[in-house]
Structure 1
Amino acid sequence: MEKQLSSSESLALITEMIKKAKKEAAGDGSFQLLLWGWVIALCNFGHYFLAKSGYEMPYVVWLAVIPAAIWSFVHEYREKRKARIKSHLDELLGQLWITVFSGMIIVLSFMGVLGFNHNPVILILAGIGVFCSGAIIKDKSVKIGGLVLFLGSIVGFLMPMEEQYLVGGIAMILGYLMPGYVLKNKFKSRV
């Protein structure tokens, strides 16, 4: 026989279920920011230092993006499979980042046409993705991260190509990693 709940017990149960649903729907949100922040910052710094040291192929460090992309896609696939709640915001964020990623691929495909000054353009696209993500999830630190990436792109445009990698690395630390760690800490405090 089922136990009848009092009104206060019912309210407590409903409140707990809403908290759990909010937690799952919001998720951590920091994984992608931290993964890509670290990978792209390290690749930018690696490229910069290899170029400064006279290494003939400083771009070889960018091969690190391949395993990172695989890890990113596998992680997202697993997260989507185990999520019980799928909100329209999750779908919107996914579509936003597919669009940003597509723009980045186009820019990278035409690096030669851009005189290999592609890094500031990539920072603009990343800034759009990060700022819009912050607006969607209503997180000020993420929006500020997007603004930092925009600022990094402006500084990058004013620098010689080789120096753009140093600017890109710094912009990724401030625009991706810092908001990523803020989100991670906020999630831990909710759990």
Structure 2
Amino acid sequence: MEKELSSKESLALITEMISQAKKEAAGDGSFHLLLWGWVIAVCDLGHYGLAKAGFDAPYLVWLLVIPATLISVYFSRKFAKQARVKSHLDSVLGELWLAIYLVIIALVLFMSVLDFNHNPVILLVSAIGVFITGSLIKAKALKLGASMLAAGALVGFMLPVDEQYLVSGIAMILGYLVPGYYLKKSYREQF
């Protein structure tokens, strides 16, 4: 027979479940920030460097996105299976980032329509995702990272396309990698 919980015990249990869900959502959310931060920063900076060096096809560095996508999908599924608590927060974050990924794919497919000025727009879309994620999990580091992405976008809009890759690479380091490592460190300290 199940034991009836007092209102105090019920509240403590609910609070603990919410706390656990937030920790899980924030903790290994750092994995995706770090994966995509590194991949996109390397691609942006690689594209910039190859273009400046006179390489005929600097865009080939972007093929790194294909294995990164497969790795991201694999680990997303793995983390979902391992999660002890599946919360509404997990669902909202998953839907948010799926929508952002689809918007970024559309921007890349139609970058010629944007006269190849897609980097600042992608930074803005990413800033929205990082800011909302930071708001949902109450992580100021992510909100600050979002502001770095938005600042990079604003600077990028004023530069020629080739220079946008340099700015975008720096913005990814400040907007994804720095908050990602901060989240990872914070998560480890909690356990």
Whether TM exceeds 0.5 here: the answer is yes
Q: What are the equivalent positions in structure 2 for 1:110-121 lying under 5 Å apart?
A: 110-121=110-121
What is residue 22 of structure 1 aligned with on the other side?
19
Structure 1: which 5+ runs fail to align?
1-10
In the other structure, the counterpart of 1:35 is 35
Distance 1:21 1:124, change over 3 A: closer
Distance in 2 (CA, whole Å) between partners of 1:66 and 1:155 is: 28
Q: Does residue 1:134 correspond to 2:134, yes or no?
A: yes
Q: Secondary structure at the match of 1:30?
A: helix
Higher Cα Rg, which structure: 1
User: What are the within-5 Å matches in structure 2 for residues 127-166 of structure 1?
Assistant: 127-166=127-166
Cα RMSD, aligned residues only = 1.8
Identity fraction in percent:
50
Q: Which stretch of the first structure deviates more once superposed, 61-70 or 15-24?
A: 15-24
Matched, 1:94 2:94: yes
Q: CA separation in 2, counterparts of 1:26 and 1:15?
A: 16
C-alpha distance in structure 2 between counterparts of 1:21 and 1:110, whole Å: 41
Matches of 2:14 and 2:167, distance apart in 1: 45
1:96 partner letter: L
Deviations 1:38-91 (A, max 9, x none): 000000000000000000000000000000110000001011112121000000
Sort the Cα spacing of 1:132 and 1:21 in 2 relative to 1 into closer, same or farther, 3 A: closer
Q: Which residue of 2 aligns with 1:186?
A: 186
Q: TM-score, normalization: structure 2? A: 0.88
Aligned length: 179
Equivalent residues of 2:47, 2:61 under 8 A apart: yes
